[in-house]
C-alpha cells in the first residue's frame, strides 16, 4: 500500500494510503502525519491477515494474491514487484481470481499454463506463473492452506539460451572504436562485470584510488536509486592497472569532480538512461567496430568468461 503526501489549499500537508482491494483501487485520505497513515496501513493488513489465517476458506485467489503482494512489496526489488503485480493482474487473476483458494487444483493451474503457452515462450510462461506459485507457497507457510496446488505442476521445459560473449580480441576492437566518456563506460562494464544500473549509479567517491577498488553501494533502476540486488552485491571490485588508467583519464577530462558527482552523468547531472546507453553508446560502437549486436548485459558474461578461463572461483564471479 503506497503512501503519498499532498498539500491542501491552506498549505497544510496531508498523507494518503492507497489500497488495492478485489481488483479495485481505493484510497484513504486526510492523515495528518506519515505515522498515522502507516498505523492505518498496519491495522488494515493485520485485519486482512487475521481473516486469511482463520478458518474462513472462502477467501478468493484475488484476495490472497493482493495480500501476498503487499507482504512482498518491501522484500523485493521494485522492478521485480512490478513484474509480479503485472503478471497477476493481467494474466492470472482474470482466470483464477474469482475462485476460492480451496477450489484451485493442479489441473486448473495446468490448464492456465497450457493457455499461456499458446502464444508465449516457455520462459515467459514460467515467469508469468511464478508469482502464483509463490503466493500459494506463502499461504502454506502462513498456515492458511495445508496443500499447495501449484507444487505438483511442473514448469514448462525451457531451452537453455546461449549467452553471446565477446572474445578478448573483439573487446579490443570495441574499445578501439570508442573514445572519451563512452570508451570509459564500456571499459568499466567489460573490466568489472558490474550490472548496468550499478555503473550508472557510480559516484567518484566510490572509486578508491588508494586500494585500486570500486565500491558498489547502489544501483539505478526506473529513475530511482536502490540497494544492490542481493546483500553480497554490496562489494568491492578490483580495478586492473589498465582500468585505473581509463578512469583516471576520464576523471581528469571531467575536471576532477568531487566525490558526490556521478562518474557518468547526463547533461542534467542525473544518471544516464539505460535505453540511451544502448542506443547512443554501445550500438554505435559495435557498428564502428564491425561487430555483431550484443546486449549491454553480455558485458557481464564476457567479463565472467575471461575470469573463468583464467581460473577464477565460480562463486566470486557470480557476484
Predicted confidence at residue 309, as pLDDT, reads: 43
φ, ψ of residue 3 in degrees (nearest 5)? -110, 140
pLDDT in tens, 17-49: 776 655 556 677 777 787 887 777 766 666 665
Predicted confidence (pLDDT) at residue 248 exceeds the cutoff of 90:
yes
**Packing angle, helices 180-192 and 298-309, rounded to 10:** 50
Tell me the per-residue pLDDT of 255-284, one tens digit each, with 9 for 90 and over.
999 999 999 999 999 999 988 999 999 999
Question: Using one digit for the tens of pLDDT, what is the confidence trace for 175-190?
Answer: 899 999 999 999 898 8
**Closest C-alpha among 133, 65, 142 to residue 99:** 65
Query: Domain spans of the chain?
Result: 1-52, 56-158, 168-318
The number of helices, as runs of H, and strands, as runs of E, in the chain is 14, 8
To the question of pTM greater than 0.75 for the whole model, the response is no
Hey, how many other C-beta atoms are within 10 angstroms of the C-beta on 118? 7
**Which residue would you say has higher pLDDT here, 143 or 118?**
118
Which CATH number describes the domain made up of 168-318? 1.10.443.10
Neighbours of 174 (CB within 10 A): 23
Tell the CATH topology of 56-158.
Answer: DNA polymerase; domain 1 (1.10.150)
Q: Which of 295, 315, 298 is nearest to 235 (CA)?
A: 315
Q: Can you name the residues that pair with 16 across neighbouring β-strands?
A: 4
Mean pLDDT, rounded, for 156-161: 77
Residues 161-219 have pLDDT tens digits of 666 788 888 888 988 999 999 999 998 988 888 889 999 999 999 999 999 999 999 98
Amino acid at each position: 500500500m503506497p503512501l503519498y503526501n499532498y498539500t491542501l489549499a491552506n498549505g497544510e500537508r496531508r498523507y494518503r494510503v492507497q489500497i488495492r482491494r478485489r481488483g479495485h483501487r481505493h484510497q484513504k485520505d486526510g492523515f495528518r502525519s506519515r505515522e498515522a497513515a502507516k498505523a492505518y496501513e498496519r491495522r488494515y493488513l493485520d485485519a486482512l491477515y487475521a481473516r486469511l489465517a482463520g478458518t474462513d476458506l472462502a477467501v478468493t485467489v484475488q484476495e490472497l494474491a493482493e495480500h501476498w503482494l503487499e507482504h512482498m512489496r518491501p522484500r523485493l526489488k521494485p522492478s521485480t514487484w512490478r513484474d509480479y503485480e503485472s503478471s497477476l493482474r493481467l494474466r492470472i487473476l482474470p482466470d483464477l481470481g474469482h475462485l476460492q483458494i480451496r477450489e484451485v487444483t493442479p489441473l486448473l493451474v495446468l490448464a492456465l499454463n497450457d493457455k499461456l503457452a499458446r502464444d508465449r515462450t516457455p520462459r515467459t510462461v514460467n515467469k508469468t506463473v511464478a508469482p502464483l506459485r509463490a503466493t500459494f507457497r506463502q499461504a502454506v507457510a502462513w498456515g492458511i492452506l495445508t496443500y499447495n496446488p501449484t507444487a505438483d505442476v511442473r514448469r514448462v521445459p525451457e531451452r537453455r539460451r546461449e549467452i553471446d560473449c565477446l572474445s578478448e580480441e573483439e573487446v579490443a576492437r570495441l574499445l578501439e572504436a570508442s573514445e572519451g566518456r563512452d570508451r570509459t563506460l564500456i571499459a568499466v562494464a567489460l573490466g568489472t562485470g558490474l550490472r548496468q544500473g550499478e555503473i550508472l549509479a557510480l559516484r567518484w567517491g566510490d572509486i578508491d584510488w588508494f586500494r585500486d577498488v570500486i565500491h558498489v553501494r547502489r544501483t539505478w533502476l526506473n529513475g530511482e536509486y536502490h540497494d544492490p540486488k542481493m546483500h553480497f552485491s554490496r562489494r568491492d571490485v578490483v580495478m586492473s592497472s589498465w582500468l585505473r588508467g581509463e578512469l583516471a583519464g576520464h576523471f581528469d577530462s571531467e575536471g576532477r569532480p568531487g566525490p558526490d558527482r556521478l562518474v557518468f552523468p547526463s547533461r542534467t547531472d542525473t544518471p544516464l538512461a539505460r535505453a540511451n546507453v544502448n542506443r547512443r553508446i554501445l550500438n554505435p560502437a559495435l557498428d564502428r567496430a564491425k561487430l555483431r549486436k550484443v546486449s549491454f548485459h553480455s558485458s557481464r558474461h564476457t567479463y565472467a568468461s575471461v575470469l573463468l578461463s583464467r581460473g577464477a572461483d565460480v562463486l566470486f564471479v557470480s557476484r
